[in-house]
Amino acid sequence: MYGALDKSFIWAVKYPFDKRSIELLVDLEISLEEILSDRSFLQEANKKLKVILEEGRVPPIINGNPYRSFVIFYLQVLIVKATENSFVERRFIDAYSKFSSSFLLKENEENIKVLAKNLGINVKLYEINGEYYYGVPFYEFIKFTRKLSDKFWKIYYFPVDKGFVLLNKRNIVRLLQEAIRIRLFEIFFSIKATPKKIYSIAQDLIKEVRDIIPRNETQLKRDFITKDHRLYPPCIKYLLNNIDKGLSHSERFTLVTFLNAMGYKKEEIIQLFNLTPDFNEKMTRYQVEHILGLRGGKTRYSIPSCRKIVSYGFCKADDTCRRYSIIHPLKYVFLKKGPRK
């Protein structure tokens, strides 16, 4: 029989991105140094990553230690992030979303409901002729199925009850697989920096799997990069619209980090600030280079989270921000544009 902690780890192995699993990881208070001090963790992480990248599937866990498998998942996430390669990241995410949904197919209704809730989808259970159906709010159905190429995912193929689209088990799991992909992308967004040691491990991995990486994907090239301002969140649009009135330090900082993530070059960003009333090219160049990690300690700063932007006072949340509980400005672009499949 499994104890409560074992069960938590088993859940965490199946659904490592889940809120409960992340809480478990925090409770472990395990440091990266500790993990890296045991070389076997790294060896196992690398071995699994090679299978994931070469075969597009997560290798099965046979008689594994769930604690170990769970920790290794996060070690793999750090390595993948450090590769700075969108192909590697996407392949990892796709493999893990399929891996988790294969377990979901075997879960009972309540567990599916809990996992869906933790992914931000409030599922309503229906029992019809002794079979369970999962009611998904209409807008969530659209959000998670709009990128599925199969014609089958048209709303008129499904029964609808008071704004809920009714799905059978197989279909709710397929929809949740999409939600899991998005959650995994969010986890990657949220990693601010990767330790140097992980970076060199990641580079070794890239060398080993170079043959399977498409030529045009050897650099990090986020699929959601865009210079189309219509896809930017309202806080960023507000900053862009108010450059000519002058921006505070935190506003400038946010705008520079965001535009850089969207593919703007240093010179383009500096030129944008040309519109500010107190424009001083030397000073602007210094500040922009500092934020982009080209000066001083060479720290490359990340875009502030929504929570920070709220505290800075220029969050201008719209319906999309509220409906999807946006926690990071990049997530807004991600939702509007969507990751490439």
Contact residues for ligand SF4, defined by CB under 6 A: 233-235, 306, 309, 315-317, 321, 326, 329, 332
- What the block records as the tokens of 149 is 């190429």
Q: Distance between CA atoms of 145 and 150, rounded to whole angstroms? A: 9
Residue 240 near residue 333, CB atoms below 8 Å? no
Work out how close the CB of 313 gets to ligand SF4 at its nearest, in angstroms, rounded to a whole number.
Answer: 10
Q: Which is nearer to ligand SF4, 138 or 312 (CB)?
A: 312
Work out how close the CB of 190 gets to ligand SF4 at its nearest, in angstroms, rounded to a whole number.
Answer: 14
Q: Which is nearer to ligand SF4, 175 or 333 (CB)?
A: 333
Q: How many CA atoms lie within 13 A of 54 on its CB side?
A: 14
Residue 316 near residue 235, CB atoms below 8 Å? yes
Q: Which is nearer to ligand SF4, 229 or 316 (CB)?
A: 316
Q: Which is nearer to ligand SF4, 166 or 309 (CB)?
A: 309
Q: Distance between CA atoms of 200 and 166, rounded to whole angstroms? A: 48
Q: Which is nearer to ligand SF4, 16 or 233 (CB)?
A: 233
Q: Distance between CA atoms of 202 and 85, rounded to whole angstroms? A: 10
Q: Distance between CA atoms of 67 and 65, rounded to whole angstroms? A: 6
Work out how close the CB of 106 gets to ligand SF4 at its nearest, in angstroms, rounded to a whole number.
Answer: 37
Q: Which is nearer to ligand SF4, 115 or 321 (CB)?
A: 321
Alpha helices in the chain (DSSP H): 4-14, 19-28, 32-37, 39-55, 66-83, 86-104, 109-118, 138-145, 169-190, 196-208, 234-241, 249-261, 266-272, 281-291, 306-312, 319-323, 329-337
Work out how close the CB of 142 gets to ligand SF4 at its nearest, in angstroms, rounded to a whole number.
Answer: 20
Work out how close the CB of 330 gets to ligand SF4 at its nearest, in angstroms, rounded to a whole number.
Answer: 9
Work out how close the CB of 238 gets to ligand SF4 at its nearest, in angstroms, rounded to a whole number.
Answer: 8
Give the angle 137-140-144 at the CA atoms, nearest 5°. 145
Work out how close the CB of 180 gets to ligand SF4 at its nearest, in angstroms, rounded to a whole number.
Answer: 22
Q: Which is nearer to ligand SF4, 112 or 326 (CB)?
A: 326
- Give how far Cα 97 sits from Cα of 74, 92, 118, 223, 325, Å: 15, 9, 15, 18, 21
